[in-house]
Amino acid sequence: MIIVLKQNPSQEKVEQLSAALRDLGLTLHFSQGVSTSLIGLVGDTSRINIDMIEANEIVESVKRVSEPYKAANRKFHPQDTVVNVNGCKIGEGFLSVIAGPCSVESEEQIIEVAKAVKASGAKFLRGGAFKPRTSPYAFQGLHGEGIKLLLKAKKEVHMPIVTELMSLNHLDLFSDVDVIQVGARNMQNFEMLKELGHSNKPILLKRGLANTIEEFLMSAEYIMAGGNENVILCERGIRTFEPSTRNTLDLSAVPMLKHLSHLPVVIDPSHATGIPWMVKPLSKAAISAGADALMIEVHNNPACALCDGAQSLTPEAFDDVMNAVKAQAKFENKII
């Protein structure tokens, strides 16, 4: 960390600040210039309160040099993390597909979709029981009943299930869920992240619509700091000025996340674009960019879906996407 001092600071104040910093166990290096003076801090700066330093009257600005996350940082954990869910793996060397409807709507629906996506090669079943909807008047999911239907489908098709948690109050209902999803809108629901850090279940953490990659990794760090190292990162589109797709899929986040962190990375082209015909080219591109898994919405009757129907693939269209995905995975020497 580098502290840039204001012009001509009082020597006394510089010494006060220096003493406070040394008290934090840091070593200081001074660099005195004609118009600018710097203090370089050496040591563990990840727990330093930048705000407090910036508020000091002799400080112009503070610049971080090293990343503020540790558990999620590849520098301290060079090997790729592979998350193992009942034998289904997400991480380096594998290409896993998570598929299913946006919302669980009925026993028939979820089982029909589950069988279809399994037949096409998906490894995980997704489905929402609690649905984050912009409008209070929109369908909000079947809640506990939805979880039960997911578990029935799991029993029927023997696939691990992934479903979203929207409130810690519902956590008890998730005891048989295999992977807990934290949605984009809750990426910085820190109380939820802390609690999930004490869980032993894999967490699929979605990037917030307007969160930087560093903030994304800091949210992973919240979970990991609690002891749960099974975090799966999911890029699902960021908010930009471009209106032709629902969000803008940031595929450059794949190599960047894998460079900065050892955690596996999933791409969700369905939510990112909101457009079914874009799922295939962007799934292929995601694999080429290095993604470890894909998350794709499939509905047996998109035009009657109670939520996000417009972005769902039919089972037939999903099968076509999966053929392309399998060929691409094979080309990349990934196990699918």
Show contacts with its own copies in window 128-187 (CB under 8 A). 130, 132-140, 166-170, 185-186
Judged by CB under 8 A, the chain residues 196 through 215 that form the site for its own copies are 208-210, 212-215
Contact pick of 11, 172, 241, 333 for its own copies (by CB under 8 A): 241
Residue 286 to residue 294: CA distance in whole angstroms: 8
* Cβ proximity of 287 and 95 under 8 Å: yes
Contact string (CB under 8 A) for its own copies, positions 291-330, x = contact: -----------xxxxxxxxxxx--------------xx--
Is residue 256 near its own copies by the rule CB under 8 A? yes
Q: What is the DSSP string of 225-278?
A: HTT---EEEEE--B--S--SSSSB--TTHHHHHHHHB-S-EEE-HHHHH--GGG
Is residue 14 near its own copies by the rule CB under 8 A? no
Window contacting its own copies (CB under 8 A); options: 78-86, 109-117, 198-206, 282-290: 282-290
| Residue 13, amino acid | K
Q: How far is the CB of 91 from its own copies (least distance, A)?
A: 17
Q: How far is the CB of 78 from its own copies (least distance, A)?
A: 13
- In 3-state terms, what secondary structure has residue 205? strand
Contact pick of 47, 79, 175, 333 for its own copies (by CB under 8 A): 47
Residue 75 to residue 223: CA distance in whole angstroms: 18
Give Cα separations from 84 to 14, 59, 92, 96 (angstroms): 52, 47, 11, 11
Both tokens assigned to 273: 């674009």
Is residue 86 near its own copies by the rule CB under 8 A? no
Is residue 42 near its own copies by the rule CB under 8 A? yes
Contact pick of 282, 294, 295, 298 for its own copies (by CB under 8 A): 282
Contact pick of 157, 159, 233, 287 for its own copies (by CB under 8 A): 287
Residue 238 to residue 90: CA distance in whole angstroms: 23
Window contacting its own copies (CB under 8 A); options: 79-87, 119-127, 172-180, 217-225: 217-225
Judged by CB under 8 A, the chain residues 60 through 79 that form the site for its own copies are 60-61, 63, 65-66, 68-69
Is residue 192 near its own copies by the rule CB under 8 A? yes
For the four alpha carbons of 299, 84, 203 and 287, in that order, the dihedral sign comes to: negative
Give Cα separations from 149 to 105, 174, 256 (angstroms): 9, 13, 37
Closer CB to its own copies, 133 or 155, in the complex: 133
